[in-house]
Structure 1
Amino acid sequence: MTATTSRPAALRVAVVVGSTREGRFAPVVTQWIKGHLDQRDDMDVDVVDLAETPLPTVLPAFGQPPAPGTTEALALVTPRLAAADAFVFITPEYNHSYPASLKNAIDWHNEQFHAKPIGFVSYGGLSGGLRAVEHLRVVMAELHATTIRNTVSLHNAWGQFGEGGQSSDPASDSAVKVMLDQLAWWAQALRDAKSVRPYAA
């Protein structure tokens, strides 16, 4: 009799769309990234668009109850972040950093990011959003997350996509594959480790 080995369950990847501005370019980038994720059989994707799931912008003082409506708003986001094995943050660069909407979503959460990997896809002008990513690395380290070394940075992003939403730069598609391969490695390793021993935050 030949022994069979079962495949690990697909990794649950939450794609967090950080921009909520009117006329934002984020949907183009998001669909492109989702297309790459949909081609993988080791990952299931959940797009958490902060423009569609707005969170309260005023956090309660320590020890104080949240404002009315907070629980309902968080219920649309928090369980999805908690269920994720890994994250991809999609962010533009605003004033040398990342959007306030993304910082707000991060600040409403904590343990949902513990011992989980995060890959970054940034876009912008000449900088390609890299300064936003560098700020995010510091913030996410505080939340016990592991950030992926390789990023996807789209410089002058508005000119990189055709009408069908496909990138005209093969190097960008290659960068996505490398980033997702690294994200999968870390997500699997951390999921396996936590199944043996809970993470000590």
Structure 2
Amino acid sequence: MTQTLIGYARCSTDKQDLEAQKQALAALGVAEDRIYTDHGLTGTSRARPGLDQALAAVRQGDTLVVSKLDRLARSVPDARAIADQLTAKGVRLALGAAVHDPTDPMGKMFFNILATFAEFEADLIRARTREGMAIARARGKLRGKQPKLSEKQQKELRRMHGSGEYSISDLAELFSVSRPTVYRTLNRASRPVGP
């Protein structure tokens, strides 16, 4: 039975490049046509078509190769689930040049420590992103989605609705907006403004 090396590479955003990971996998002996990729998908999302293809491609005796554990998973449960799936198929997992041996207690502990660090790093990134958005919002730089209608149009829509002569559908057609937009405009008017 011949052992095949199957590679997997992932980057979280469309602006990132997979080339460095592909080169690292090639240096580890993975053939170019055996590298599966996901581009613009986070490691916290389990819906990763490239990873699913890589997991389907590996057979007993093969090795799944990733440059680093955080390219495979960004949470401990996900990393554990993938490792268990590979073990059940009789497939080894190589993290860079190190091959993870799930039967070895030290190897298992080391894998869990790496997975914990990958999850911690993902949590830090999310926290920094939330913090940055809060600062931008406080400075007025992040205002969310702007209303489809101008203030003048919103006033007129509310006036027309208040007259009782126009239905929600009539207003949506007259202002070329959806019914939910009409409802949002009317709800905005009924909300109290500040203390």
TM-score bracket, shorter-length normalisation: 0.3 to 0.5
Q: Which has the higher strand share?
A: 1
Larger Rg: 2
Q: Which has the higher helix share?
A: 2
Structure 1 length-normalised TM: 0.33
Structure 2 length-normalised TM: 0.34
Q: Relative contact order: is structure 1 or structure 2 higher (C-alpha 8 Å, sep ≥ 6)? A: 1
